[in-house]
Structure 1
Amino acid sequence: MRGLEALEYFLENWDSKIRCFDEVQEFEAMVEYALGNDVRVVNTKVIIDRFFDRVIRFENEEFFDLKTSFLPEEIEYDPFSGNLYINRNLYRIKIAPKIC
């Protein structure tokens, strides 16, 4: 599943783990960032501003300067794993919400 529909479906499925504030939603997640052979995995807070800027931010030192604006076609949701992916030419970000 791709696009904004994928983002909406992801947020609906993880609704019990997500804190909502006006137009921003946040949750704890394991984030895997892959840029070529460099793969980093961290636990961090994920903040999604899905209505205006379409920005996903990460509150972690590893991702201090990473604020990802995304195009709808870059978003992919895997209903089997429950993970959200942002696919770009140079990198891929996998977001897996914490279960507990």
Structure 2
Amino acid sequence: MLDTLYHEALNRKRNPKEGSYTNYLYGKGLDKILKKVGEEATEVVIAAKNADKEEIANETADLLYHLAVLLVETGVSLEKIEDILQARQGKVSKTSDRREISDY
């Protein structure tokens, strides 16, 4: 599904369509696309806090769409992201809890 979404965004960039929201975003440029990604990410967080599964699904779909537009606009391929994720797979995280502060 992500592949389809990405390639549809790429196709719209290469073959603009009058009245297309995707082309509207491309026409407004990176700052507008970034603003939309930020808005949609925030809406996913709010949906999750509301524990509304339908809202989470809808807002996540919006976020994924806007991320696809962002990737196309910046020239980052899904293959690049897949390579990075595969390189990370199976690695042990270096995160740890902070030690407690006992002196004030």
| Structure with max Cα Rg | 2
Instruction: Please give the TM-score of this superposition, normalised by the length of structure 2.
Output: 0.24
- Name the structure with the higher strand share: 1
